[in-house]
Each structure stands twice: as structure tokens, then as C-alpha cells.
């Protein structure tokens, strides 16, 4: 009888050890995945930091997303904004052209006196949303070839720069 208790005790200990090893391996795999994801994020940030920033002024900034949603546009008529070095802005809302003035201090951006043409527009264009973005933006940042508009610290629009 003693012999059976010894066998049972040894078997239980082995099962517990195997189970602990599986948990250890599982935790190790999870930690490896987390570390890998963190390394990828670090690499993306480093690469963004290594990119040469485009100039805020005199760059054509093509609208790519509003409130995290990709903007649908006609390929030959993208919505864009250009900041000139005399504190004037001009651009295309997706249907109508616009112009106005801006003030930039650090990353604080104020757009003012914006006027636009008033022609009828096709249904799927970013016109209304882009107009709202222009009235909401309070700051911006250029990272590499991207311009990001924010409102109270939250991203509201992203642009891709081009020197055409």
C-alpha cells in the first residue's frame, strides 16, 4: 500500500511540474510577443524621427484622414492646404477652393478669415468635414512627411506632404 502512495505522490508532483512548465512557457511566449510589439513601436518612432521633416510652409499638404477615418476623394482632385510664408493659407476642400490667414506659435495654430467658393458639390467629397476641421484645429505638428492637426490634444486630421 505504501508503494502505491509513493507512486501516486510522485505522479502528482510530475503533473504539477509539467503544468507549471507549460504556464512558464506560455508566460514567456506572451512576454516575448509584448517585447516584440514594443520594439516595433520603438522602431516606427525612431524611423519617423529619422525622416527629414518637410517644411510646414510652402508644402502642399494632402488630406488623408479626418478623425481617424480615411478620406474618400477623386484621385485627380485631392483636398489639400498650403501655408505660405506670409501667414496666408490656400487650398481645396474637395469641391471648392478656399483661402484665409493663419497664426503659428510653436505648435499652436489658429486659422482665421477663411473664405471659399460656393459651387455645388458631388455627394462623396470631404468638403463639409474638412471645413469643420479647419474651424476646430488648435495645434499641429510636422513629423517627417506628415502634418497632424489636433484639437485639445486629440488628432482630428492627418495630411501627407508633397512638394509639387
Residue 53: the pLDDT is: 79
pLDDT band, very low/low/confident/very high, at 32 (cuts 50, 70, 90): low
Same domain as 79, residue 45 = no
pLDDT band, very low/low/confident/very high, at 72 (cuts 50, 70, 90): confident
Same domain as 130, residue 85 = yes
Residue with cell 486659422: 111
Domain that holds residue 128: 60-162
Is residue 55, in this structure, part of any structural domain at all? no
Residue 76: the pLDDT is: 81
What does the radius of gyration of the chain's CA atoms come to, in whole angstroms? Answer: 28
Is a pLDDT exceeding 80 seen at residue 38? no
Segment 2-21, tens digit of pLDDT: 555 556 665 555 556 555 44
Share of the chain above pLDDT 70, in %: 66
Q: 27: helix, coil or strand?
A: helix
Segment 81-104, tens digit of pLDDT: 999 999 999 999 998 999 999 999
Same domain as 148, residue 78 = yes
CATH of the domain at 151: 2.40.128.270
Same domain as 119, residue 73 = yes
Total structural domains in the chain? Answer: 2
Question: Average pLDDT for residues 146-153, to the nearest whole number?
Answer: 97
pTM: 0.68
Same domain as 46, residue 64 = no
**Torsion sign (Cα): 21, 24, 29, 32:** negative
Amino acid at each position: 500500500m505504501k508503494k502505491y502512495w509513493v507512486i501516486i505522490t510522485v505522479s502528482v508532483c510530475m503533473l504539477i511540474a509539467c503544468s507549471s512548465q507549460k504556464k512558464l512557457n506560455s508566460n514567456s511566449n506572451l512576454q516575448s510577443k509584448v517585447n516584440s510589439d514594443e520594439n516595433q513601436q520603438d522602431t516606427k518612432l525612431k524611423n519617423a524621427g529619422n525622416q527629414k521633416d518637410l517644411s510646414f510652409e510652402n508644402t502642399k499638404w494632402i488630406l488623408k484622414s479626418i478623425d481617424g477615418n480615411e478620406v474618400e476623394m477623386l484621385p485627380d482632385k485631392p483636398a489639400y492646404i498650403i501655408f505660405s510664408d506670409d501667414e496666408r493659407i490656400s487650398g481645396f476642400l474637395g469641391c471648392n477652393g478656399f483661402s484665409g490667414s493663419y497664426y503659428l506659435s510653436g505648435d499652436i495654430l489658429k486659422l482665421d478669415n477663411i473664405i471659399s467658393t460656393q459651387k455645388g458639390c458631388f455627394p462623396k467629397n470631404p468638403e463639409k468635414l474638412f471645413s469643420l476641421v479647419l474651424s476646430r484645429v488648435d495645434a499641429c505638428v510636422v513629423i517627417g512627411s506628415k502634418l497632424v492637426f489636433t484639437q485639445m490634444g486629440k488628432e482630428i486630421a492627418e495630411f501627407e506632404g508633397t512638394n509639387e
